[in-house]
Amino acid sequence: MPSAPVRVPRCLSAPTPGWTTTAADVIVVGSGIAGLTCALQLRQHVGRVLLVTKTVLNEGSTAWAQGGIAAALDPEDSPQEHLEDTLVAGVGLCDVEAVRVLVTEGPQRVRELVALGAEFDRTDDGEIKLTREGGHHRDRIAHAGGDATGKEISRALIEALRRVVDDPGIEVIEHALVVDLLTDEEDRVAGTTLHVIGEGQIDGVGAAYASAVVLATGGLGQIYTSTTNPPVSTGDGMAAALRAGARITDLEFIQFHPTVLWLGEGSTGQQPLISEAVRGEGAFLVDRDGVRFMQGQHELADLAPRDVVARAILARMRETGTDHVFLDARHLGAEFLEERFPSIVASCRSLGFDPATDLLPVAPAQHYASGGIETDLHGRSSLVGLYACGECSCTGVHGANRLASNSLLEGLVFAHRIAADIPARIASGHLPAAREVVGQRGESHELLDSRHRLDLQRAMTAGSGPVRSADSTAEGLERLAELCALPVLESAGPKSWETTNLLHLGRVLSVLAGRREETRGGHVRSDFPERDDVRWLRHQSVTVTPDRFATISESTPAAPHLTNSEHSVGPSGGLSVGGSDFPVGEFDFPVDEAERVIEAALDEDLGADPGRDVTTLATIPAEQLREAVVVARADGVVAGVPAIARVVDAVSERLGTGCVDVVVEIPDGAAVQRGDVIARLSGATQTILIAERTLLNILSRLSGVATHTRRWADELGGSGAMVLDTRKTTPGLRALEKYAVRCGGGTNKRMGLYDVAMIKDNHKLAAGGVAAAYDAVRAAYPGVDVQVEVTTSAEALEAIDVGARFIMCDNMSVELLRATVDAIRATGESVEVEATGGLTLEVAAAYAATGVDYLSVGGLTHSSPILDIALDLEE
Ligand SMILES: Cc1cc2nc3c(=O)[nH]c(=O)nc-3n(C[C@H](O)[C@H](O)[C@H](O)COP(=O)(O)OP(=O)(O)OC[C@H]3O[C@@H](n4cnc5c(N)ncnc54)[C@H](O)[C@@H]3O)c2cc1C
């Protein structure tokens, strides 16, 4: 698997800023649905907003959106059903909490958009007309002007902006292109460099500073030869965030829209989209022989999720040796088509196709970037002061593939959240006032001339397009590296900056596409045609480190959701395994702590660094090479597998013994049965034998904790309650043992005394009561979560009354606990409840049935027997 040999500069080559402004509290970049909504909301809560946009206000994907905006507006529909459809489309990689936010806040946000002036199509009795699109099981797509939804939303938002444009609280600059982000000495984002052309009162490149920057710069469609995205979609915001060190996630998940009008081989740039809504109204796909091919592929046939339809089209194109298929809408009739899809019909006719009489040639083309700048539920990126909204962000709502009409909704919902968060963070002092920073920009001479843009697009389309492979992504990367090395003949300016942004993103995207050895979401891996949940039910994130290398990390989704049972693994050894119930793979293995523990363990075993193994070094020749297996001697769940390679590397480095390769057969979190091979080692026999005890000590101890935790998790399965660990951990091993709890399917309570406040009886006594203790913690550490331990219902209610939102019910009987949980829920407050004290597996289900959220079990880490694991040299 290739590592990431990609270097990304700190900034683009650009003139030194000739002017500076610190007039705004917040800079919003982009004027699509995300940027406009954010700016309009923010101006009501902060002193001054600066909204900048690259060309004119209505340029961007928003104005092109056809189908509509999805929201559970029909009384028969529900956010829960919308959530379920969204999760299915996201193929296991959605962040369920982010989706919940989207679907529950969405309907209200759409109604507010209507109140603002957006005119959606209506039924005869005045209700918003709803239609259906691919992947939706209900009619929930609100549309405007038939197929001109985005245009209407854009118009309404821009009009709302114009109504307040004389307000000193907001300034709008068009033709203002953000080049890069500016950071302060603590790596907080403090502003942007900005190139203003033409009409703006300031000209050339300048520096604009603010407490926060919101990137709402849209997608990156122009990275491919053919896309539905407009010319401004050059990934500028994502690339600037990448260069500044923000975490970029799921970038390889590109959605290729299945039905883009095919205009012939040489056609490049923005291509006309034939909305899914046309299929929603009854159009269907046929191949060159007129054969319908979506039936039998999916329960929703022609209305299956986009990835399914795009894949089916690509397969049919391969089978028939053609570069397009056809969409048949003729039976819908001219009158209906003209009324329902006026823009599409006009666009097709202008290009020589009449949907009422002709089959429309269609093929998949780039449509949407499902990944982008990673954010939390408040739109905060990994860099303080930087927010991202809309298509340039990765909030987690789309997973590996966006559900149709969810992107306008995402921009709307998360813009409101960002506009609520920033003023609060400014008020609490988390975001400092706008201040000029000097000397943080760095120098760069890297630029790709705009005349190479088509070369870049071709490399990306062939390398990481809808069909990819190890070879194609590697060749694509090679071609992009060649482009990097070309001499720069053009002076720095919008065209070369945009092209270079595409280059930076293209290189990272290609690396991630190459690493993902499976088919998921919008693309097909021709060399790995199946989805692989065991290895790849995870996100890939990229961060550029201070030495400018793009480094990749992987993480599993917070609550993975799989719908295709053939991809989950069956039970093993009486314990449930990976798949829909428990994720397998990496769970943020604590590398630093592991390395510290390994060094200490080797000191114990070998003597002070470097130490020695007198038996092995004396009896085994240094040049002898052997293979070995790490094998389970009992049924259980493995944890700590990443430590194996780290132990053998540490031994070989300390003692100068030969190298050993490690191939992992079973990842952390997976269940094993006695006799299963967990990993294979090959290399210097000395290193293998010297490392043996240390690696087995770590692996068997952590696997014991994971196995014990899994028994609890299985016992609680279906109750909605989770098992939690405590601080009763082996000194020095806390991070690793808590990691093993996560691998087992449990969760961590707190890492130590520093990250969560826990008010127990002694604190209440010493502080003078629960209110006094709670207030004291809040005053001293306002950002820290507070948990309060109680022994009666009355105490629980008292704690909630003073503000507590996490209640630990200590040593209660099942009956008392049930009554306490009922009393807590009756308050209507959102309170998490934990049962603690003296819990055993025998009573776990009864306690879970009381409705608590967590059961805390110190025994997970203080009393788990090891899982028997051995290392055997092969004959
Ligand atoms: C043809 C088409 C049809 C679609 N149909 C639908 C649909 O029916 N339903 C749906 O939900 N989604 C649809 N989408 C997707 C949806 O339109 C977009 O995902 C969404 O509008 C993105 O909104 P945004 O505000 O994030 O970005 P955009 O609307 O793309 O706006 C980005 C803004 O950022 C500005 N910008 C970019 N770079 C810079 C820079 N360096 N400096 C300053 N400004 C910059 C741009 O000029 C623009 O103003 C469609 C997309 C297309 C292309």
- Domains in the chain: ranges and CATH: 20-252+370-427 (3.50.50.60), 257-367 (3.90.700.10), 443-533 (1.20.58.100), 591-707+867-873 (3.90.1170.20), 734-862 (3.20.20.70)
CA distance 573 to 707: 11
**What percent of the chain has pLDDT above 90?**
75
- Centre of ligand 1 from the C-alpha of residue 65, in Å: 8
What span, in angstroms and rounded, lies between the C-alpha atoms of 836 and 810?
Answer: 5
What is the token pair recorded at 375?
A: 């954010």
Instruction: Please check whether residue 801 is in contact with residue 772, taking contact to mean a CB–CB distance below 8 angstroms.
Output: no
> For ligand 1, atom 33, which residue shows the shortest CA distance?
30
Q: What per-residue string of b and e applies to 408-442 under the rule 16 or more CB within 10 Å gives b?
A: bbbbbbbbbbbbebbbebbeeebbeebeeeeeebe
SS3 content of the chain, % helix, strand, coil (to 5): 40, 20, 45
Q: Whose CA is nearest to atom 14 of ligand 1?
A: 65
Helix 734-744 crosses helix 685-716 at what angle (to 10 degrees)?
Answer: 60
Phi-psi region of 145 (alpha: psi -120 to 50; beta: other; left: phi over 0): left
Q: Output the CA 265–ligand 1 centroid distance in Å.
A: 26
Longest dimension (CA), the chain: 92
Which residues are within 8 A (CB) of 615 and not within 5 positions of it... i.e. 6 or more apart? none
What is the distance between the alpha carbons of residues 393 and 377, in angstroms, rounded to a whole number?
A: 11
Contact assessment for residue 576 and residue 710, using Cβ atoms and an 8 Å cutoff: yes
Local structure of 756: helix, strand or coil: strand
86, containing H or E segment:
helix 79-89
Mutating to test ligand 1, I would choose from 41, 55, 61, 158 the residue with most ligand atoms within 8 A of its C-beta, which is 61
What DSSP element (H or E) covers 179? Answer: strand 176-183
- Give the residue, by CA position, lying nearest to ligand 1 atom 10: 405
Which residues, in sequence order, are bridge partners of residue 170? 49
Cβ atoms within 10 Å, residue 586: 18
**Cβ < 6 Å from ligand 1: which residues?**
29-35, 52-55, 59-62, 64-69, 149-150, 177-178, 216-218, 228-229, 232-233, 236-237, 273, 368, 390-391, 405-408, 411
For residue 410, the ligand 1 atom closest to its alpha carbon is 11
State the distance from the centre of ligand 1 to the C-alpha of 110, rounded, in angstroms: 17
Atom 25 of ligand 1, nearest CA residue: 32
Q: Which atom of ligand 1 is nearest to the CA of 70?
A: 11
Neighbours of 318 (CB within 10 A): 12
Ligand 1 atom closest to the CA of 408, numbered from 1: 11
DSSP 451: G
Looking up tokens 């920073």 gives 437
Q: What is the pLDDT of residue 133?
A: 82
CB atoms within 10 A of CB 834: 20
Rg over alpha carbons for the chain, rounded to the nearest Å, is: 29
Q: Which residues of the chain have pLDDT under 50?
A: 1-4, 560-574, 576-582, 586
How many angstroms separate the CA atoms of 875 and 869, rounded?
Answer: 19
Report DSSP state, residue 192. Answer: E
- The closest residue, in CA terms, to atom 26 on ligand 1 is 390
570: CA distance to ligand 1 center in Å?
42
The CA 271 to ligand 1 mean position distance, Å, reads 15
Can you tell me the distance from the alpha carbon of 407 to that of 410, in angstroms, rounded to the nearest whole number? 5
C-alpha closest to that of 741 among 703, 715, 714 = 703
Q: Enumerate residues 6+ apart whose C-beta is below 8 A from 370.
A: 250, 253, 254, 255, 394, 398, 399, 400, 401, 402, 521, 522
From the list 223, 227, 245, 243, the residue with the least C-alpha distance to 235 is 223
Residue 79: other Cβ atoms inside 10 A: 18
The protein residue with its alpha carbon nearest to ligand 1, atom 13, reads 65
Sequence-ordered list of residues with C-beta below 8 angstroms from that of 801, at least 6 positions apart, any chain: none
Residues 6+ apart with CB under 8 A from 656: none
What's residue 573's pLDDT?
A: 37
Q: How far is the CA of 32 from the centre of ligand 1 (A)?
A: 5
Ligand 1 atom 37: residue of nearest CA: 217
Interatomic CA distance for residues 571 and 565, integer angstroms: 13
Q: Where are the beta strands (DSSP E) in 701-851?
A: 722-724, 756-759, 785-790, 806-810, 832-836
Q: Which of 306, 402, 468, 507 is catalytic?
A: 306
Q: How far is the CA of 332 from the centre of ligand 1 (A)?
A: 30
Does residue 701 have an active-site annotation? no
533: number of Cβ within 10 Å: 25
DSSP state letter for 313: H
Q: Read out DSSP for 321-368?
A: T-S-EEEE-GGG-HHHHHHH-HHHHHHHHHTT--TTTSPEEEEEEEEE
**Cβ partners under 8 Å of residue 114, min gap 6:** 120, 128
Instruction: Among 86, 367, 393, 408, name the best residue to mutate to test ligand 1's pocket (greatest count of ligand atoms within 8 A of Cβ).
Output: 408
DSSP per residue, 255-302: EEEEEEE---TT--EE--B--HHHHHTT-EEE-TTS-B-SBTTBTTGG
Q: How many helices (H) and strands (E) does the chain have?
A: 25, 37
Residue from 62, 113, 149, 412 to probe ligand 1 pocket by mutation (most atoms less than 8 Å from CB): 62
